Amino acid sequence: MNRGTFFCIDGHTCGNPVRLVTSAHPPLRGQSMSAKRQHFLQHYDWIRQALMFEPRGHDMMSGAFLYPPTTADGDAGILFIETSGCLPMCGHGTIGALTFALENGLLTPQDPHRVRLDTPAGRVDAHVRRSGDKVDAIKLYNVPAFLAFEQLTIEVPELGALSVDISFGGNFYIIVEPQANFAGIEHCNASFLLRYSPLIRDIVNAQVECIHPQDPTMRGASHVLWTGQPKHASSDAANAVFYGDKAIDRSPCGTGTSARMAQLYAQGRLPIGQAFVHESYIGSQFIGCIEAVTEIAGRTAIIPSIEGWARVTGHNSIVVDDDDPYAFGFQVL
């Protein structure tokens, strides 16, 4: 039998949901968060499905568990759960989970203004801006990001030919910029993005193999990042990120912003040290920056930073009992 009660703090990061699970952590094996992620997927994925899918969640639901660190100098480890699976890294999820944990006294880092976080994708440093007990914003220094494939031409049914780039920012992103058969996100509605994103993702993954050179468990182009003109004069660019089966990120997407900056740097369109204000589909903003240039397995990469904020919306006690025919959730596609 699979059953239990999961206490959660619910909220959002710049509009996209975050559910920090604060109890009933499954015992995970492995010396790294990457290994623990694989153990969770093999033995405890029912927890993710129960907490993320309907009727306890929804298509955009995203969450996290905090664990003890897996490194000697770390403050915490994190496991991401969402409708699309267990991501190696999630920017908005990190900002939300750390905000909720710090404000509720669930995490005491060595430095109150810095959290050294072990993620499945690697070390992420979070710099915390506080006003007393309130967390105003968190700036993440993310894992190295790089452009993986450039100007890949694909043929999309009913839409026609598209040229796309694929970039890694913690996950692999298919980046679609305005061109002949796509005018930009300001000219299309959510139905358009939901219709064509799964097709594009399947076509791309059939043509190229996206595998991180240092960790083969990070593989496959999982997200589609559509670009266009921003709503606000203070934004430098806008995006709409598709993930899962039918989700559009309400936040500007932290790993997506990292991937976008890596693409722009590789193409000579964004210099080191310049602020990059990235806007979401609903108009919320992250502040990105290329902090430094590094190398991943002989490939040029960047160290990206992303700054954003999160707010708590409530505290939740979720019961999962396999006597319930919908204990492990469902989706209506």
With CA atoms as reference, report the closest residue to 284 among 261, 247, 309: 309
User: Do the Cβ atoms of 276 and 287 come closer than 8 Å?
Assistant: yes
CA dist., res. 147 & res. 129, Å (int): 30
In the three-class reduction of DSSP (H, G, I as helix; E, B as strand; rest coil), residue 317 is classed as strand
Please name every residue paired with 313 in a beta bridge, in sequence order, or none if there are none: none
With CA atoms as reference, report the closest residue to 235 among 275, 183, 290: 275
Q: How many CB atoms lie within 10 A of CB 79?
A: 25
Beta strands of the chain (E only): which ranges? 3-13, 16-21, 62-67, 76-82, 114-119, 122-131, 134-141, 146-156, 160-168, 172-176, 211-212, 215-219, 221-228, 237-243, 247-248, 276-279, 285-296, 299-308, 310-321
Place of tokens 């043509």: 207
CA dist., res. 309 & res. 145, Å (int): 22
CA atoms lying within 13 Å on the CB side of residue 75: 19
CA dist., res. 94 & res. 111, Å (int): 17
Q: Do β-strands 221-228 and 276-279 pair in parallel, antiparallel, or remain unpaired?
A: unpaired
Place of tokens 């900002």: 95
Annotated catalytic sites, by residue? 90, 253
